[in-house]
Amino acid sequence: MTKRYVFVDVETTGLDSYRDTMIEVAAVAWQDGKEVDRFAALLNPGRAIPPMITDLTGISDAMVAKAKKVGSIRPKINAIIGDHIIVGHNASFDVGFLQAENMAYGNHVLDTVTLASIILPSLGRYKLDYLVQTLGLPQTRAHRAEADARHTLNLFVKLQELAMQLDMGIIEEIVNVGGKLGWPETLFFEDILTRKTRTAFETGERSGYVSGLFKPEKIEAKALPPLDEKKELEPIDVAMVKGLLQAGSNFSRAFPTFEPREQQVEMISAVAGAFNKQKHLMVEAGTGTGKSLAYLLPAAFWSTQNQRRVVISTNTINLQDQLINKDIPLVQTALNLDLRVAVRKGRGNYLCGHAFTRLRHNGPRDRAEMVLLARILVWLPTSQTGDRAEISLRSPAEKAAWRKLSGEAGQCNRQNCSAATCPVQYAKRKAETAHLVIVNHALLLSDVANQNHILPEFKELVIDEAHHFESAVTNGLSFEADRKFLDALLEELSKDSSGVLVDLAKNMRELPDDVQDTLREASGAIRQAAQLADMRLAELFETLGFFLSDYINARSDFSQSVRLVEKVRGSADFQLVRESWQNLNIRLSTIANQLNKLNTGLLHLLDDGSTTFADSDELLSTLHDTAKNIDEVRQNMDKIIDKPDDDTITWIDVWKKRISLHAAPLHVGPLVEKHIWENLNSVIMTSATMRTAPQGFGREANFDYIKSRLNAAKVNELALGSPFDYKKNTLLYL
């Protein structure tokens, strides 16, 4: 007999199934492709319906005044549901309210939010009304129980159709790993696999493990060599580039809405001149100048003529998208240049092929990893980048699971991964072959902080949205830690169910008994130290709470800050904070040293060739990274609490019960001077707002302030007005 699905939906007075109650319920039973039963009823909640709920659902107090109480409809709902499969959109909400009224206990439950996020991993939004509209399903009024139950039914059927189009091997893998974990949605994919198996003989489709999921259509990174810089630099023909922006030029005809702008021509001349003379330049270009083209054209010619990379840094994703999807393709088409372009993001944005293969081999450990595994299996064959931006990560647990699979996890390198199979290495290799590399300010600064090990070598840089650059540098060099962050740091070592020490215990079973004993003793010492550190951490935040009571209003709903100035640090209560921190500091230092000692010992065992075990490279990398991370956090905390310096601002933020410690550089100019102005040949900074006006009536705005903040005294400057005729086109000016 085929399965029967019961699609349920409830409307309620609120979100809490313990405090709120249902005002409408609906259940639609579906079997063999047709409706076999239904029930829908308004319910009297015995209380006033909040106005917000009435606005959302259209259900008013008058409509439910004579409706039945929930107890009277319980037998009917239980009869329809029986022991059948319940399906809901955000099913835990609906089932939670039903179970609060002694209904729907013990049934298998499927959630169409989860299923849609797997089968349509790149959609981004999974609200029911959005899915119904996007997929072209029949629509009736949303936020009424029966209508939404039928919407969920139609969505479920559509998801079955879409799942039938997936590779049989991928479905089989989801079923196998989901079944071992006891994941509820496995049932959905089991049905799909059964259907596909029945038709496999006719279609010729085969099951089995699917390898090589990441298949960019053009592996340019593999085929193209890195840029081969010319020994003698060829200057840009400034007159030729300026001519491109004249009315009637071939280039201008490629832009349907092109209008010659004097300011744009002046800027393009200045940028080209800066590249040619290897000078730095600040350009304030008013709104409407078209500054993107004014630096893209010189950058395109400079990089292709000299086979020399230019990095373009922006502050916002919107500008990155504009450059990649609009401006650069137009330049490539209009100029017919062999201009190769790459977008480079932080390693944490890309899936690591090695880490993902390991997850497929070992299997997920919890629901979040299972859902993410299924989503990636469906998404990766269609992706050209392996970038997490293509799939919305929906929960903190899913984001945490992604971090273990990303290039940030520390196990992705060219020994483990190749550009043809790993998105991290593909993005890196593609950037190495590109003339223009688009990044954001945060990644640019991360590259600086990591001794230029993230981006391929470059000597020319364009910084757009430059008015945000100082704050981006400050944020990039700032530190923040709260109790939750520090707990997670120690939990990786102290918990018994997972973490680097648990992985070590699993792998060392292959080793000789005496080696196992030594490693077990070392692991035990680290775990004990982490548990002791956790106790000291609790003491620190308890002491911080006591100290802060003299400086904040405990009843305030707003964030409050306490600057750790000399007077505050000299108080008796802060001395208690310092003593508490010193106790924790000793424990953290011990943990970092023990991890490094364990890592060194394992390296010696592996180097002499007498010992081998699975995933040794990854384990060693994780041990090293964990020790490094703990020590960096320890040093930053020490700077905040015990050893402040004159170049750093330190403070404590309090919001409700959350206490966080902060440090930020007081002045970033020397760092910018050292790593940007002195290290690069030509840097173009541009924005619509870079100048400030000095105090005093009638004094002209200048670049003095931003140049002083960024230690840019010797940088050339150019201020261009906006081409907009404000007097003619503005009705109101504030």
Q: What local confidence, expressed as pLDDT, does residue 410 receive? A: 60
Work out the average pLDDT over 280-302: 93
Domain contains 692: no
In the annotation, is 468 catalytic?
no
Do both 636 and 488 map to the same domain? Answer: yes
- Please say if the pLDDT value at position 435 is more than 70: yes
How far apart are alpha carbons 31 and 102 in whole angstroms?
25
Looking at mean pLDDT, say which of 32-41, 137-146, 616-625 comes out highest. 32-41
Torsion over CA: 30, 34, 37, 41 (sign) = positive
- Of the candidate ranges 146-150, 183-187, 222-226, 573-577, the one whose mean pLDDT is the lowest: 222-226
pTM of the model: 0.81
Task: Name which of 626, 404, 630, 606 is nearest 519 in CA terms.
Answer: 606
Q: Are residues 632 and 483 in the same domain?
A: yes
For all residues of the chain together, what is the average pLDDT?
A: 89
Domain identity same for 25 and 126:
yes
- 435 touches 227 (CB < 8 A): yes
631 and 499 in a common domain? yes
Q: Give the β-pairing of 310-314 and 560-563.
A: unpaired
Residue with tokens 């944005």: 349
In the predicted model, what is the mean pLDDT of residues 695-722?
A: 87
In a domain, 449, yes or no: no
Q: How many CA atoms lie within 13 A of 431 on its CB side?
A: 24
State which of 105, 131, 163 marks the end of a domain: 163
Could you tell me if 417 and 547 lie in one domain?
no
Residue range 643-667: mean pLDDT, rounded = 92
Task: Count Cβ neighbours within 10 Å for each residue of 216-252 and write b for 16 or more, e otherwise.
Answer: beebbbeeeeebeeeeeeeebebeebbebbeeeeebb
Residue 616 within any structural domain of the chain: yes
- 629, 647, 665: which is the final residue of a domain? 647
Amino acid at 320: Q
* 267-276, 328-337, 350-359, 666-675: range with highest mean pLDDT: 267-276
Tokens for 570, please give them: 């000299």
Residue 498 lies in a domain: yes
Compute the distance between CA of residue 242 and CA of residue 246 in angstroms, rounded to an integer. 7
The span from the CA of 678 to the CA of 662, in Å, is: 29
- The residue from 108, 143, 467, 667 that is catalytic is 143
Least confident of 18-22, 107-111, 558-562: 558-562
Contact between residue 344 and residue 455 where contact means Cβ atoms under 8 Å apart: yes
Measured torsion, CA atoms of residues 528, 529, 533, 535, in degrees rounded to the nearest 10: 30
pLDDT at 330 over 60: yes
Q: Specify whether 389 is located in the same domain as 509.
A: no
Give pLDDT, residue 90. 96
User: Can you tell me whether residue 89 is helix, strand or coil?
Assistant: coil
State the CB neighbour count (10 A cutoff) for residue 353.
Answer: 27
pLDDT score at 317: 84
Residues 507 and 401 in one domain: no
Per-residue pLDDT tens digits for 221-276: 456 778 888 889 999 999 999 888 887 777 777 776 777 788 999 999 999 999 99
**171 in a domain, yes or no?**
no
pLDDT at 605: 75
User: Can you give the pLDDT at residue 199?
Assistant: 84
* Residues making up the chain, counted from first to last: 734
Whether 262 is in a domain gets the answer no
Question: What's the pLDDT band for 602 if we cut at 50, 70, 90?
Answer: confident
Distances from the Cα of 706 to the Cαs of 439, 548, 672, 685, 710, in angstroms? 22, 36, 12, 11, 6
Domain holding 18, by residue range, is 5-163
**Alpha carbon distance 238, 304 (integer Å):** 15
Residues 395, 511, single domain; the answer is no
**How many CB atoms neighbour CB 69 within 10 A?**
13
Q: Residue 211's pLDDT is what?
A: 79
Count how many domains the chain has: 3
- Plot region of 232 (φ>0 → left; ψ -120 to 50 → alpha; else → beta): beta
* Domain shared by 59 and 158, yes or no: yes
Q: Is the dihedral of CA 460, 464, 470, 476 positive or negative?
A: negative
Nearest of 24, 57, 26, 58 to residue 40 by alpha carbon: 26
Query: Hey, which residues does 440 pair with through a beta bridge?
Result: 314
Taking the C-alpha atoms of residue 560 and residue 567, their distance in angstroms, rounded to an integer, is: 18
CB under 8 Å, gap of 24 or more: what pairs does 225-231 form? Answer: 225/433, 226/432, 226/433, 226/456, 227/307, 227/308, 227/309, 227/432, 227/433, 227/434, 227/435, 228/307, 229/306, 229/307, 229/308, 230/305, 230/306, 230/307, 230/308
State the pLDDT at residue 334: 84
Q: What is the mean pLDDT of residues 359-373?
A: 92
End-of-domain residue from the set 120, 143, 163: 163
Residue 151 has pLDDT above 70, yes or no: yes
- Residue 413 half-sphere exposure toward CB, CA atoms < 13 A: 7
Q: Identify whether residues 494 and 622 lie together within a single domain.
A: yes
**Distance, CA of 465 to CA of 688 (rounded, Å):** 8
| Whether residues 403 and 540 fall in one domain | no
Query: Is 448 within a domain?
Result: no
Closest CA to 521 of 545, 505, 499: 505
One domain for residues 374 and 502: no
CATH number for the domain spanning 19: value is 3.30.420.10
Tokens of 638: 């020490």
* Cross-strand bridge partners of residue 24: 11, 42
pLDDT of residue 221: 46
pLDDT recorded at residue 37:
96
Highest mean predicted confidence (pLDDT) among 220-224, 245-249, 615-619, 630-634: 630-634
Residue 696: pLDDT above 60?
A: no
Is position 79 within any domain? yes
